[in-house]
Amino acid sequence: MKKSILEKIFSAPAEILEKTVELEKEIEKDIEEKEPVKEVKEYWRTLGPGLTTGAADDDPSGIATYSQMGASRGFGLIWLSLFSFPLMVTVQEMCARIGLTTGVGLATNIKRHFSKKILYFSTILLLFANVFNIGADLGAMAKGVQLIFPQISFALLVLGFAIFSLLLQVFVPYKKYSKYLKYLALVLFAYVFSAFAVSIDWSDVFKHLIIPNISFTKDEIILICAALGTTISPYLFFWQTSQEVEEQILKGEKTEEMRKTLNTKEDMHKMRIDVWSGMFFSNLIMFFIIATCAATLFGSGVVNIETAADAALALRPFAGDFAFFLFAIGIIGVGLLAIPILAGSASYALSEAFNWKTGLYRKLKQATSFYGVIIVAMTLGIILNFVGLDPIKTLIYSAVFNGIISPIVLFFIVKISSSEEIMGDFKNKKITNYIGWFTVLILSLVSVSTIIFILL
């Protein structure tokens, strides 16, 4: 029986209300479904200097070091990936906080509050260490490409990568450049995927991860020094601090006074998310590289890895083409990320030490000395690839330089970040101080032991 006109009139609002409620539920459901995506986007926007600093820590030289650790010691030294994490987080968080709170780079802070002679000594050694790293990384990237395209000239690839990195730093605006670095960091997931492409006894891995195993032999101490030198490394200290300043300038805080006074607890909270994420990512990649090489190479008797390309080649017979390809791609991608950071960190340190204009936000003609250091560092890195320097010796020299510099610079970092006069309300908490001084002690012991072993 059909509804009367009156029934239709009176029932219409109820039907409209019912449809409205259903529509609202559908909209709420869509919003709920999109909320995780929104949170991920917000998290990605929070990431910046911490992520790129952590990713740059796993440069091709670092990959070679971790590969050698896995190949020569199996899972025996994988505990270092866990042990170094809280040390690395604490150090980089102090550096980031110094940059945010003072509004200037690390070298400027050391120069203002401590001895200039020690600063000059540290920055010169930093330049040498970074040049060795740049040289090793350029060579590793060229070898990485040759693994896939063997017909391309090694010299051409080294020059090509160096020139490409220079062009990015000198001519691409910092706002775009920093975004490129963030996306390049994602290439490190290749090493996570490669680990799951091989057969690994995870129970054995986690046993060695939790229970440290160390023999005080010359080779093992040098490996530990290289590992700590590439994870808790001076170039990361200078880069992290200066990048926080660059980010402030990008937000419009042009003067030092503005950068010092406009910081909030929210800024510190976001910085900590960024730093913790970046350092966790860095150590996670270290863990997977050691695990992959230990599971495939150590058990097969391949115990001598000189370069990251050697690791990729050695993996191929045991882990297959997929793992080989992922290792090769990772070498190239992370090299593109790390080399500008190595050159840039040396330039930040030297430029601040000698009162030159600094900053990737500046154009070439505004900061010729700053960009000049980057060009010189890259040029010397290129030359190292054509003087017949052994890759392992390059890594050892770099590790030793870092071993000497790290405790010195870290001493100043802890002193500055714990000073109420310099840091105000954002000074170190007690636990941060304890971990900071413990890190200074560990790095000092390891670096002194390594130097003694090399000299004997």
Under 8 Å between Cβ of 198 and 56: no
Sequence letter at residue 362: R
pLDDT of residue 162: 92
pLDDT at 376 over 80: yes
Percent above pLDDT 70 for the chain: 85
pTM to 2 decimal places: 0.83
Domain-located, residue 436: yes
Of these ranges, 25-39, 258-272, 404-418, the one predicted with the greatest mean pLDDT is: 404-418
pLDDT of residue 308: 63
Band of the pLDDT at 17, cuts 50, 70, 90?
very low
Domain-located, residue 105: yes
pLDDT of residue 90: 95
How far is C-alpha 402 from the chain's CA centre?
Answer: 15
Residue 359 or residue 455, greater confidence: 359
pLDDT of residue 379: 94
pLDDT of residue 317: 67
Domain-located, residue 63: yes
Band of the pLDDT at 303, cuts 50, 70, 90?
low
Please tell me the least confidently modeled range out of 221-225, 341-345, 371-375, 412-416: 221-225
Percent above pLDDT 90 for the chain: 25
What's the mean pLDDT in 137-147?
85
Residues 6+ apart with CB under 8 A from 43: 273
pLDDT tens-digit readout, 157-175: 999 999 988 888 888 776 6
pLDDT of residue 332: 81
The tokens for 84 are: 């170094």
What's the mean pLDDT in 132-153?
86
Under 8 Å between Cβ of 82 and 205: no
- What's the full length of the chain, in residues? 456
Domain-located, residue 159: yes
What is the domain range of residue 339? 49-455
Please tell me the least confidently modeled range out of 154-163, 177-186, 193-202, 405-414: 177-186
Of these ranges, 122-126, 150-154, 322-326, the one predicted with the greatest mean pLDDT is: 150-154
Domain-located, residue 173: yes
What's the mean pLDDT in 440-452?
86
Domain-located, residue 29: no
CA distances (Å), 286 to each of 62, 116, 191, 431, in order?
8, 35, 9, 25
What's the mean pLDDT in 261-283?
86
pLDDT at 123 over 50: yes
pLDDT at 263 over 80: no
Residue 397 or residue 416, greater confidence: 416
Please report, for the domain that includes residue 447, its CATH number: 1.20.1740.10
What's the mean pLDDT in 247-251?
80
Sequence letter at residue 306: E
Domain-located, residue 27: no
What's the mean pLDDT in 344-363?
89
Domain-located, residue 24: no
Band of the pLDDT at 3, cuts 50, 70, 90?
low
pLDDT of residue 391: 63
pLDDT of residue 392: 61
- What values do phi and psi take at 353, rounded to 5? -60, -35
Of these ranges, 59-63, 81-85, 211-215, 391-395, the one predicted with the greatest mean pLDDT is: 81-85
What's the mean pLDDT in 196-224?
85
What's the mean pLDDT in 53-77?
84
The total number of structural domains that make up the chain: 1
Mean pLDDT of the chain: 82
pLDDT of residue 248: 84
Q: What is the 3-state secondary structure (H, E, C) of the chain?
A: CCCCHHHHHHHHHHHHHHHHHHHHHHHHHHHHHHHHHHHHHHHHHHCCHHHHHHHHHCCHHHHHHHHHHHHHHCCCCCHHHHHHHHHHHHHHHHHHHHHHHHCCCHHHHHHHHCCHHHHHHHHHHHHHHHHHHHHHHHHHHHHHHHHHCCCCCHHHHHHHHHHHHHHHHHHCCHHHHHHHHHHHHHHHHHHHHHHCCCCCCHHHHHHHHHCCCCCCCHHHHHHHHHHHHHHCCHHHHHHHHHHHHHHHHHCCCCCHHHHHHCCCHHHHHHHHHHHHHHHHHHHHHHHHHHHHHHHHCHHHCCCCCCCHHHHHHHHHHHHHHHHHHHHHHHHHHHHHHHHHHHHHHHHHHHHHHCCCCCCCCCCHHHCHHHHHHHHHHHHHHHHHCCCCCCHHHHHHHHHHHHHHHHHHHHHHHHHHHCCHHHHHHHCCCHHHHHHHHHHHHHHHHHHHHHHHHHHC
